[in-house]
Amino acid sequence: MRGKTILWLTLIALLMGVAVPNLGVAQPYTTISVDPSLITGLLPGDSFGVDIYITDAVGVHAWEVKLAYAPYMDVMVVTDIIEGDFLMGGGMTTFAKYVDHFYGFAMFGATGDMDHYGVWGEGILATVVFSILEAGECDLNLYDTILLNRDKEELSHSVVDGYYLGPTADLRKLLGTARGRKAPYTAPASMDMKAQVENTGYADIYARLKFSSVHESGKTVTLYSGQHLWTTEPRAPEYYYVNEFTPVWTAWDMIGDEPWIDEAEDGSYIEGWNHGEIIGIFGFEDITLNPGDIISQVTLEGYTQVDGGHIDIDIYVYPTMAWIDSLWGGADWAWHTTRWVDPVTSNIDPSLKTLAGFNDWTILIYCYAAAGESTKLDALRLKVEFTGIEGDPTWEHIPVGAPPTDLPPAVWDIYDFDAGDWDTTVTCEYRYNYPDPRFLQVWQTAKTIETYSWSVK
């Protein structure tokens, strides 16, 4: 916001000095435009510039322009704004600029000094430089444009916007049960949701389908192509506690009864005082999964307390000794997750989301207490949360010129608790860069959107 404030302060003397604008001083065909008006044929990684061009100007002494483009940095970003030479033709100028990358707009302008005599004719007000980040398209809209003469009179003018057209895709037609069904489903049943997508641009793209369904109660369900919805009422969260404990180093106290750390606040815990004293191997209760039980995430939690400071309880997978993260503790007894890498343990070790990986998961802990604080560990547990959706969204690579392509269906298993009326919106999402799951992905939404209604009795 500081840059925006500076811009306003720089131009305030003129742009805020228009108490009663005298419209119509300039000829009505004075025009501010984006030049070129259409930009296409470029790919992510490329840069391009557009000129903010003025024609048939009459005595322009100051100007300001706002330019809107794609927000959220999902198609492009502004990397520079350079003052053009139009206003410089009348004398010394002051130029200011401000860019809001999140909302996708730039505000910039210039004013002549006291000796500036105004400029007639045509020329470049400014050049805006963009860097392309992803596939997609967007308007380049001019708005809140202002022209002033030396007498601070506002000059009438028109604007001509621009357009950026990058690699694109679009939804072509619904297939299967997604085309709409007049008769209600009778539970139990299964529904395939699928559609065709077409590459409508000049470069290969990746595309997927999104099915957003809203129940008459307001409940929402979102599925992507390739996913399987086993149930809209997944299993409730559950906790799995320690049931195996092997001390590796015994220079610490075991208070209460074995197994010491299977439950919280049961009077049984382990305590150490020095760096590396608490070292042990821990296993957890096994989980049983029924058809449709999909683990969404697993979180390791420790019930800890530290006298006089904070500690790290480092977690390693045993026997590979791969470091996971560190539990911690404070002055009061409390449940804590890990804190340095990710509080959700399955984001660090995805094997926890599988039956075999969860039931085989064993850890070694190493307590770091540099100042010799008393470190108490009362319990360890794994919090398991479930989802009814199996599989990650599936995308398809669609080359340039390919015919409309059937994307993999999303499958919905319907039960009695799904009864009622549903409205489903189908959109195509696409991108140019490879959808590497290790990185944040930005997907563009295609122009065509389809909707249909269905019901379960």
pLDDT band of residue 406 (cuts 50, 70, 90) is very high
pLDDT band of residue 34 (cuts 50, 70, 90) is very high
Q: What is the pLDDT of residue 9?
A: 37
- Which of 65, 31, 60 is CA-nearest to residue 153? 60
pLDDT at 447 over 60: yes
Q: Give the single-character DSSP code of 88.
A: G
Half-sphere exposure of 253 (CA within 13 A, CB side): 8
Give yes or no for a contact between 367 and 282, defined as CB atoms under 8 angstroms apart.
Answer: no
Q: What is the pLDDT of residue 310?
A: 67
pLDDT band of residue 266 (cuts 50, 70, 90) is confident
Second-level CATH architecture of 169-233+389-456:
Sandwich (2.60)
Give yes or no for a contact between 59 and 143, defined as CB atoms under 8 angstroms apart.
Answer: no
For residues 160-175, average pLDDT: 97
pLDDT at 178 over 90: no
Q: What are 322-363's pLDDT values in tens digits?
A: 999 999 888 889 999 999 999 999 999 999 999 999 999 999
Query: For the chain, what are the domain ranges?
Result: 2-165, 169-233+389-456, 238-387
Give yes or no for a contact between 218 and 420, defined as CB atoms under 8 angstroms apart.
Answer: no
**Domain 238-387 of CATH type 2.60.40.1180:** no
Neighbouring-strand partners of residue 136: none
Strands 410-414 and 228-229 turn out to be: parallel
pLDDT at 13 over 60: no
pLDDT band of residue 17 (cuts 50, 70, 90) is very low
Q: What is the pLDDT of residue 260?
A: 80
For residues 166-186, average pLDDT: 87
For 401-416, letters b (16+ CB in 10 Å) and e give: eeeebebbbbbbbbee
Other Cβ atoms closer than 10 A to 451: 12
> Rounded CA gap, 395 and 416, in Å?
31
Q: What is the pLDDT of residue 308?
A: 67
For residues 375-383, average pLDDT: 93
pTM for this model (two decimals): 0.79
Q: What are 278-300's pLDDT values in tens digits?
A: 678 999 999 999 988 999 999 99
> Rounded CA gap, 81 and 310, in Å?
49
Q: What is the pLDDT of residue 249?
A: 72
> Rounded CA gap, 110 and 77, in Å?
22
Pairwise pLDDT comparison (374 vs 276), residue with the higher score? 374
> Rounded CA gap, 168 and 42, in Å?
12
Q: Give the single-character DSSP code of 89.
A: G
% of the chain surpassing 70 pLDDT = 90
Q: Compute the mean pLDDT over every residue in the chain, rounded to the nearest whole number.
A: 90
pLDDT band of residue 135 (cuts 50, 70, 90) is very high
Return the CATH fold of 2-165.
Immunoglobulin-like (2.60.40)
Pairwise pLDDT comparison (259 vs 63), residue with the higher score? 63
Q: What is the pLDDT of residue 378?
A: 92
pLDDT band of residue 261 (cuts 50, 70, 90) is confident
pLDDT at 35 over 80: yes
For residues 449-455, average pLDDT: 94
Q: What is the pLDDT of residue 30?
A: 96
Q: What is the pLDDT of residue 24?
A: 43
Q: Three-class SS of residue 374? A: strand
pLDDT at 5 over 70: no
Strands (E), 101-231: 105-112, 119-132, 137-148, 158-160, 162-165, 169-176, 189-199, 205-215, 220-224, 228-229
Tell me if domain 2-165 and domain 238-387 are identical in fold.
Answer: no
Give yes or no for a contact between 194 and 176, defined as CB atoms under 8 angstroms apart.
Answer: yes
Q: What is the pLDDT of residue 4?
A: 46
Q: What is the pLDDT of residue 330?
A: 85
Q: What are 195-253's pLDDT values in tens digits?
A: 999 999 999 999 999 999 999 999 999 999 999 999 999 999 999 999 988 888 767 78
> Rounded CA gap, 367 and 374, in Å?
11
Give yes or no for a contact between 40 and 90, defined as CB atoms under 8 angstroms apart.
Answer: no
> Rounded CA gap, 107 and 314, in Å?
50
Q: What are 88-117's pLDDT values in tens digits?
A: 999 999 999 999 999 999 999 999 999 999
% of the chain surpassing 90 pLDDT = 76
Q: What are 37-60's pLDDT values in tens digits?
A: 999 999 999 999 999 999 999 999
